[in-house]
């Protein structure tokens, strides 16, 4: 991730996605807070994102787009409830990012069938990479 503004944009997208079902669950808030910490965004800046809606920037690097899609997929599972609006929205976001719809579908299916709901990084990248062959 290059700039501070790009990091804020990623978090803004996550916040908007968390609110798709009309409610921000504690687990979703906690997850976003962890991601903000990992991106070196302080709590004050994070709280400002909840107040101010800004336009989301396009992620240029494909690796970072895949990482963001995976973050959103993890966020979608945080509250333990899979809403239809979340399913539709994550597909819209992934397509807008230029990600392969078949790879996205496989990732989401793997996450739903896995007890912990996580996928290791190599598997994640392999699924997106095999779509190029």
Q: What is the pLDDT of residue 132?
A: 64
The long-range contacts involving 28-33, CB below 8 angstroms and separated by at least 24 positions, are 28/75, 28/78, 28/79, 30/78, 31/74, 31/75, 31/78, 32/75
Q: What is the pLDDT of residue 58?
A: 77
Contact in structure between 68 and 97 (CB atoms under 8 Å): yes
Closest CA to 72 of 124, 31, 116: 31
Walk along the chain (133 residues) and give the pLDDT tens digit of each residue.
568 888 898 999 999 888 888 888 899 999 999 999 999 999 999 999 988 877 777 788 899 999 999 999 999 888 777 788 888 999 999 999 999 999 999 999 998 888 788 888 898 999 988 866 5
Q: Structure pTM?
A: 0.82
């Amino acid at each position: 991730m290059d700039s501070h503004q790009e990091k804020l944009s990623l978090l803004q997208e996550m916040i908007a996605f968390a609110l798709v079902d009309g409610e921000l669950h504690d687990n979703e808030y906690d997850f976003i807070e962890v991601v903000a910490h990992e991106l070196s965004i302080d709590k004050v800046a994070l709280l400002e994102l909840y107040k101010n809606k800004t336009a989301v920037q396009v992620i240029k690097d494909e690796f970072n787009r895949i990482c963001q899609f995976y973050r959103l997929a993890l966020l979608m599972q945080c509250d333990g409830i899979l809403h239809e609006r979340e399913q539709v929205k994550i597909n819209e976001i992934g397509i807008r990012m230029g990600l392969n719809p078949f790879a996205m579908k496989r990732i989401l299916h793997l996450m739903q069938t896995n007890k912990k709901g996580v996928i290791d990084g190599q598997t994640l990248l392999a699924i997106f990479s095999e779509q190029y062959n």
